[in-house]
Chain A
Amino acid sequence: MRGIEKASAFLSANRKALLFLLRFALIFGLAYFVFGIAPGIRNGVIRPYTEWLARAVAWTVNLFGAGAMAEGQMVSSSQFSMQIAMGCDGVEASCLFLAGVLAYPTSWRAKMIGLAAGLPAIHAINLARLVMLYYAGLLLPSVVEEVHVYVAQTIVILLSTVLLLFWLQRVAAPLGRA
């Protein structure tokens, strides 16, 4: 009985926070299913986007004389080749930001500002990560896999979280009060 009382007190004291977290998890799951798993969108939207990313990486590194070429999802040069595969497309970070913005109770104006500024910023960060990975492959070939999984991906998610917290503090809270 005491446990039930404690649980109901916890639920009523944290109702708003729990609702936000539930909305956040549902929106993240739905967005990830749509953009990350559903085969139609994966093949019709995300795959062409990763091919565009490969061309963008090749173009950027060629500005510094890398001599790289993009073919499909592959970026290759005489010294190093990499594939822009699942997980390199920025879908996870975008879904995290999207879920945070849409789940937070604030005005739709604040949400639209957040999405319009945040999502392109996340994809710019993701492109910078891919360029960094290309150079990591050139300069540190023995640890490129570890850098790829444990460092580069984490940096993108951390920066997306920073963007989300910045939006919460500077945009969502003031516009939500207005």
Chain B
Amino acid sequence: MAAGLYVVLLPLWWYSVEGLVVLTSAPADWIYHFFNPKVRIKPDGRVVKIVFNVAGGEPILSGLGLDKVTYGLPMLAALVLATNSRSIKAKARTLIIGIMVMLVLTVPAVMMWAKLSGLQIEENLAGMTAGSRSGFFYYAFHGYAFSQPVVAVGLWLAFLMLGLFEAKRKAEKTPVSRNAPCPCGSGRKYKLCCGRG
């Protein structure tokens, strides 16, 4: 069932990538600006555009297609929707939490791409061997991108184990002793106040 839902949700996600680009590039730009003010991260259609401002020269551009780091989203949604739950409200809440967590995780992925591209440009300008400085970030970024289905499964397992698919139990009223002070705050005994009759 999850596989069928995934196929249905794929086009929905595909057409929402532009919105995801806007949602993730703004916080990524804001945070990355503290580490490197010469780099700007901007939305550009389905691509997150990284602008490297070089002193005394034209800015160098790099782009990241956001579909490469968000394709776990439809899988997570499919897994959540396919999970048996007695409460539709709990399922909807879990789905919203899942989408938010995936979006939050995308922000450092975008920043990692900016760092990787920056190092690759530096290597290129300095005539160094490709990967000599950027190697770790290359594998870390692509590892996250290739692990999108794993991230989805991991989050789904976490939601399942933390009982997010279960309906919240209404708080049971604790019985008040007849001689205890009344919970309404009157200062009288319960039996002589709200517990009368």
Contact = CB atoms under 8 A, between A and B. Distances in A.
Interface string A150-172: 10011111101100000000000
Interface in B114-163: 135-136, 139-140, 142-143, 146-147, 149-150, 152-154, 157-158, 161-163
A21 B10 contact: no
Given A32-B147, A36-B143, A17 B162 contact: yes
Contact of A36 (B71, B139, B152, B161): B139
Contact of B146 (A18, A24, A87, A160): A87
Chain A interface SS verdict (over half)? helix
Contacts of B152: 157
A18 B143 CA distance: 24
B2 interface: yes
Contacts of A149: 68, 71
Contacts of A134: none
Nearest to B3: A158
A157 B150 contact: yes
Contact of A21 (B2, B75, B158, B163): B158
A42 interface: yes
A21 B101 CA distance: 15
Interface residues of B, number: 25
B6 interface: yes
Interface in A2-40: 14, 17-18, 20-21, 24-25, 28, 32, 36-37, 39
A95 interface: yes
Contacts of B147: 32, 92
Interface string B1-39: 011001000100000000000000000000000000000
A53 interface: no
A32 B3 contact: no
Contact of A161 (B143, B146, B153): B153
Contacts of A25: 154
Give the bracket for the number of chain A residues in contact with chain B: 20 to 34
Interface in A93-130: 93, 95-96, 100
A86 interface: yes
B135 A39 contact: yes
A42 B149 CA distance: 21
Nearest to B144: A32
Given A17-B161, A20-B161, A21-B158, A28 B139 contact: no
A21 B161 contact: yes
Contact of B142 (A21, A24, A87): A87
A92 B161 contact: no
Contacts of A161: 153
Interface string B85-118: 0000000000000000000000000000000000
A161 B152 CA distance: 11
A21 B146 contact: no
Given A18-B162, A21-B161, 6 more contacts: A21-B158, A24-B154, A36-B139, A37-B140, A157-B153, A158-B75
7 contacts: A86-B142, A87-B146, A92-B146, A92-B147, A153-B149, A157-B153, A160-B153
Interface of B: 2-3, 6, 10, 68, 71, 75, 135-136, 139-140, 142-143, 146-147, 149-150, 152-154, 157-158, 161-163
Interface of A: 14, 17-18, 20-21, 24-25, 28, 32, 36-37, 39, 42, 86-87, 92-93, 95-96, 100, 149-150, 153-158, 160-161
